[in-house]
């Protein structure tokens, strides 16, 4: 069975008062915490075990049926150090890497699990809709993402134009056991997930591109949180609403 590792060590300083006494993962939107939304999507896909890697106020992240791990020196290291704390090599069936502050619809998780590849990454083709609402200019805080024939070609650089951004990394990567063995040899020289993937691409490692059409969100600032709360509480359809609906059938 495929495991899941959820990175939740961040303090969320850019969320201001909303995360003053909480880990970033426990900020609420749409009636639940970001972490609980992500756990719901993972459990709906049968992922087990689920490991949550905490840092700031980590004891508050405890959940039934979830393995809690503390990232040492979380305040001065990055996502890959948190990933290492979960000891991913122990998962013989591989694992899905997710971020607690990027809640996803369960169908997005399923798309990653269906990918027939040792390493597969989720790229949101509807990213401009979200980025324009978040930043106005879609190139603000965007990174390159190019794919062809189902394979990732480039990721993680600063784009010069929209031509270099076919999608945006959506915070989900699936590794088979063999895929992680290959990826881990690059992890020491990388500082985050996209730099890890970029290093692998430079050495000719195949990475599958899994296209998504919204239904997720990154909540990195107080403005992001206000946007999500407004959109989720409104009546207008939203391309990046991650909540399962009655019409979603098995996911509801």
- On the 0-12 / 13-18 / 19+ scale of CB atoms within 10 A, 108 is buried
3-231 is a CATH 3.10.180.10 domain: no
**Number of neighbouring beta carbons within 10 Å of residue 239:** 15
DSSP summary character for residue 45: T
Buried b (16+ CB within 10 A) or exposed e, 24-54: bbbbebbeebbbbbbbbbbbbbebeebbbbb
pLDDT at 18: 80
Domain ranges across the chain: 3-231
CB 219 within 8 A of CB 104: no
Tokens found for residue 147: 């794919």
Given this model, what pLDDT does residue 100 score? 96
Per-residue pLDDT of the chain (252 residues; tens, 9 = 90+): 899 999 999 887 788 888 788 999 999 999 999 999 999 999 999 999 999 999 989 899 999 899 999 999 888 888 999 999 999 999 999 999 999 999 999 999 999 999 999 999 999 999 999 999 999 999 999 999 999 999 999 999 999 999 999 999 999 999 999 999 999 999 888 889 999 999 999 999 999 999 999 999 999 999 999 999 999 999 899 999 999 987 776 665
**Nearest CA among 138, 133, 127 for reference residue 167:** 127
For residue 49, whether the previous peptide bond is cis, meaning omega lies within 30 degrees of 0, is yes
Q: How far is CA 7 from CA 67, 70, 140, 226, in A?
A: 12, 10, 24, 22
DSSP 124-189: ETTHHHHHHHHHSSTTTT---EEEETTEEEEESSPPSSGGGBSSEEEEEEEE-HHHHHHHHHHHTT
> Residue 77 has what pLDDT?
83
Query: Taking the model in full, what pTM does it have?
Result: 0.95
What Cα–Cα distance (Å) separates residue 71 from each residue in 52, 79, 184?
10, 9, 17
Q: Is the dihedral of CA 124, 195, 121, 88 positive or negative?
A: negative
């Amino acid at each position: 069975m495929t495991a899941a590792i959820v990175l939740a060590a961040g303090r969320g300083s850019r969320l201001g008062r909303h995360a003053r006494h909480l880990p970033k993962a426990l900020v609420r939107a749409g009636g639940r915490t970001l972490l609980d939304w992500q756990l719901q999507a993972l459990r709906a896909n049968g992922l087990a075990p689920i490991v949550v890697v905490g840092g700031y106020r980590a004891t508050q992240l405890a959940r039934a049926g979830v393995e809690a791990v503390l990232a040492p020196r979380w305040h001065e290291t990055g996502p890959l150090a948190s990933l290492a704390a979960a000891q991913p090599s122990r998962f013989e069936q591989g694992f899905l890497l997710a971020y607690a502050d990027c809640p996803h619809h369960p169908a997005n998780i399923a798309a990653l699990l269906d990918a027939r590849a040792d390493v597969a990454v989720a790229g949101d083709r509807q990213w401009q809709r979200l980025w324009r609402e978040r930043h106005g200019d879609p190139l603000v805080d965007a990174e390159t993402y190019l794919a062809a024939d189902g394979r990732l070609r480039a990721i993680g650089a600063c784009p010069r134009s929209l031509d270099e951004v076919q999608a945006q990394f959506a915070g989900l990567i699936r590794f088979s056991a063999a895929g992680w063995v290959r990826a881990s040899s690059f992890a020491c020289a990388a500082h985050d997930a996209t730099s890890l993937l970029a290093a692998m691409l430079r050495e000719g490692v195949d990475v599958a591109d899994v296209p998504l059409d919204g239904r997720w969100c990154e909540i990195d600032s107080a403005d992001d949180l206000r946007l999500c709360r407004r959109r989720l509480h409104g009546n207008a359809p939203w391309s990046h609403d991650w909540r399962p609906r009655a019409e979603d059938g098995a996911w509801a």
